[in-house]
Amino acid sequence: MSFTRLLQPARSLRSMQPALLARSAVPRFVVSPAVSAFHTSAKRLQAQSAQTVITPSSESLGFSVSEVKDIQNTRPIYMDMQATSPTDPRVLDAMLPYMTELYGNPHSRTHSYGWETEKGVDQAREDIAKLIGADAKEIVFTSGATESNNLSIKGVARFYKGKKNHIITTQTEHKCVLDSCRVLTDEGFEVTYLPVGKNGLISMDDLKAAIRPDTALVSIMAVNNEIGVIQPLEEIGKLCRSKKIFFHTDAAQAIGKIPIDVTKMNIDLLSISGHKIYGPKGVGALYVRRRPRVRLVPLLTGGGQERGLRSGTVAAPLAVGLGEACRIAIEEMDYDHDRVKRLSERLINGIQSKVSHVYRNGDEIQSYPGCVNLSFAYVEGESLLMALKDIALSSGSACTSASLEPSYVLRALGAEDDMAHSSIRFGIGRFTTEEEIDFVVSRVVAHVDKLREMSPLWEMVQEGIDISKIEWAQHA
Amino acid sequence: MATPASRSQVLALYRSLLHHSSKFAAYNFRDYAVRRTRDAFHAAKGEQDPAKIQSLIAHGEKQLEIVKRQSLISQLYGGEKLVVETKHQKILRRH
């Protein structure tokens, strides 16, 4: 069927509408019978025919068990942009040709199938490089920021092993950076984990004091994934360059959201993730400086693709998607930032004007407004998350949200246990609307009030008792 | 150089973009596409340079193609409404 047929104006179909209404889940948006014939939804795609059989046991005590049916026909609104972001339709549009017609291996040199794919991958490389002020030759495609972080930390450390055995990082890094460092400790390296202040920022004096003659690498993230603070990259870069130490930054949460320039900031290695910037999942990039040259031991060996740093065929559709996401980010950064900032203020003011004892974690000025981490005193974060089932939220990083442990990032800020337990992270992005923010504010306000009403602690606070001074009786 | 763009040409592009933007089944993409179109046209309202206008129109036409294709894909796989949506549709009904 030709494309124009599919896109018939809705008006001409008005006469058919009663029939359409009955058949389709979304009659208002169906413009063509063809679309409604092929329409499917995530729910239908994931539907399972297998049924769970529950046999009542003697312990059931007369309580009956029934299957929980998903009667809700609406989806929650998405406010977890730090975990992942929706793929921008423009990105998908750039990727689709490479998932259908243009399937050549970008490393094939002998035919046009290879050349056309290589052209797309090269364009993507250019766009990524442009976003961070680098040269296209300095970009290496990886599977994501986790691989980029692993490659840069392990790669640099292993290459310079023997002469240099020391690495500096911070306590609030992403798990994959901390874990790479832990692996290196087993291999005989020494790692310094810099503390952060109450605002989440490192102190330059601490960094200066930690640097040793055998320091190989400093790895400090640009924007924190849990509290959104922006570390002083330019100062760190300047210091590292003056001491001839390589500076790696995990910029997964920063790229496309705040301006980053690897030359101005003296960054030697920089990790990029696709799905945090409205690109596809499963792709990332690593910037590796050429002058002065940074040398790495690769994690993967094989065909020697990507300058030998990352063997394996480049995932061309994903790489093209990442490139397009970066190109859009260059165009839209100012527009997005203004908007995210406005929505962020609307959210914080909305909540703080109606609920007392709400504290924002992380520095208020040196932070990305799209990541708002709030602690609601005297409310248990997990209970609030459960209550807010209409909103997709998280209490911190997606990697640790399965455990009920308070976030190590908030602990590093010196937050008391109860405050770390009562925190929720709100992620605002390109596609968040005013309406969603107002909805979140109204739900949060209602549920925090309700949960506090049930809390004996809150009652005591209202009566003027200082909870921190209470000596709780121990259970023997 | 190319002939200067007429007012009607710009308005037709604007209407067309709004029309197709409002066809995204996914709430967030629909809202974004409509809003981004409006904001982009409003921001370029006072533009006088004919070459600049021409390049803006070319950009808009490219976006229109993308919106046409992607709103169709959104309809193919989307459709479940978000909790905030019921109120929202009244606003978009104007297009």
Cα–Cα distance, A205 to A326 (Å, whole number): 34
Which residues of A are tagged catalytic? 399
- What's the pLDDT at A99? 97
Do residues A28 and B74 touch, judged by C-beta distance below 8 A? no
- Structure tokens given for A17: 């509408």
Question: Per-residue b/e over B11-42, b at no fewer than 16 CB within 10 Å?
Answer: eebbebbbbbbbbbbbbbbbbbbbebbeebbe
Do residues A28 and B89 touch, judged by C-beta distance below 8 A? yes
Angle at alpha carbon of residue A113, lines to A109 and A115, rounded to 5°: 50
**Mean pLDDT throughout A175-185?**
96
Cα–Cα distance, A280 to A327 (Å, whole number): 14
Which chain A residues contact residue B84 at CB under 8 A? 77, 433, 435-436, 439
* Distance from the first to the final alpha carbon of chain A: 76
**Mean pLDDT throughout A245-261?**
97
Residue A51: pLDDT above 50? yes
Tens digits of residue pLDDT in A263-281: 999 999 999 999 999 999 9
**Mean pLDDT throughout A195-214?**
96
Cα–Cα distance, A256 to A272 (Å, whole number): 10
- Structure tokens given for A368: 């990305």
Which chain B residues contact residue A25 at CB under 8 A? 79-80
The partner residue sitting opposite B75, judged by closest CB among A39, A390, A432, is A39
- Structure tokens given for A141: 């495609």
- What's the pLDDT at B90? 47
* Distance from the first to the final alpha carbon of chain B: 34
User: For the domain bounded by A333-469, which CATH number is listed?
Assistant: 3.90.1150.10
Cβ <8 Å between A28 and B89: yes
- What's the pLDDT at A326? 98
Nearest CA in chain A to B86: A74
Do residues A325 and A282 touch, judged by C-beta distance below 8 A? no
Percentage of the residues of chain A whose pLDDT score is greater than 70: 86
Cα–Cα distance, A158 to B33 (Å, whole number): 48
The partner residue sitting opposite A77, judged by closest CB among B25, B29, B82, is B82
Percentage of the residues of chain B whose pLDDT score is greater than 90: 69
Domain boundaries, chain A: 1-55, 89-329, 333-469
Residue A285: pLDDT above 80? yes
- Structure tokens given for A151: 């490659």
Cβ <8 Å between B83 and A76: yes
- Are A89-329 and A333-469 in the same CATH fold? no
Residue A366: pLDDT above 50? yes
- What's the pLDDT at A22? 40
Q: Helix B7-21 and helix B50-77: axis angle, to 10°?
A: 20
Tens digits of residue pLDDT in A412-433: 998 887 788 889 999 999 999 9
Residue A5: pLDDT above 60? no
Residue A167: pLDDT above 90? yes
- What's the pLDDT at A109? 95
Tens digits of residue pLDDT in B27-82: 999 999 999 999 999 999 999 999 999 999 999 999 999 999 999 999 999 878 89
- What's the pLDDT at B94? 43
Which chain A residues contact residue B21 at CB under 8 A? none
Residue A71: pLDDT above 80? no
User: For the domain bounded by A89-329, which CATH number is listed?
Assistant: 3.40.640.10
Contact with chain A for residue B68, Cβ under 8 A: yes
Cα–Cα distance, A109 to B65 (Å, whole number): 32
Which chain A residues contact residue B88 at CB under 8 A? 435
Which chain B residues contact residue A33 at CB under 8 A? none
Q: How near does any CA of chain A get to the CA of B93, in Å?
A: 10
Cα–Cα distance, A457 to B92 (Å, whole number): 46
The partner residue sitting opposite B75, judged by closest CB among A29, A43, A73, is A29
Contact with chain A for residue B28, Cβ under 8 A: yes
**Mean pLDDT throughout A323-337?**
97
Sign of CA dihedral A100, A102, A104, A107: negative
**Mean pLDDT throughout A257-263?**
97
Percentage of the residues of chain A whose pLDDT score is greater than 90: 72
**Mean pLDDT throughout A341-360?**
96
Which chain A residues contact residue B73 at CB under 8 A? 89, 92
- What's the pLDDT at A394? 87
Spatial neighbors of A180 by CB under 8 A, at least 6 apart, are A149, A150, A153, A154
Using DSSP's 3-state secondary structure scheme, residue A362 falls into: coil
Cβ <8 Å between B80 and A41: yes
Query: What single-letter DSSP state applies at residue A201?
Result: P
Contact with chain A for residue B15, Cβ under 8 A: no
- Structure tokens given for A170: 């911070």
- What's the pLDDT at A62? 66
The neighbouring-strand residues paired with A78 are A392
Burial class (CB in 10 A: 0-12, 13-18, 19+), A395: buried
Tens digits of residue pLDDT in A119-139: 999 999 999 999 999 999 999
Tens digits of residue pLDDT in A27-42: 455 556 777 788 888 7
- What's the pLDDT at A476? 53
- What's the pLDDT at A185? 97
Residue whose pair of structure tokens reads 């890094």 in the numeric block: A173
Interface of A with B (CB under 8 A): 3, 6-7, 24-26, 28-31, 35, 38-43, 73-78, 86, 89-90, 92-93, 335, 390, 430-433, 435-436, 439
- What's the pLDDT at A66? 61
Q: How confident is the model at residue A8 (pLDDT cuts 50, 70, 90)?
A: very low
Tens digits of residue pLDDT in A377-400: 999 888 899 899 999 998 765 545
Cβ <8 Å between A86 and B28: yes
Beta strands in A177-305 (DSSP E): 190-194, 215-219, 246-250, 269-273, 284-288
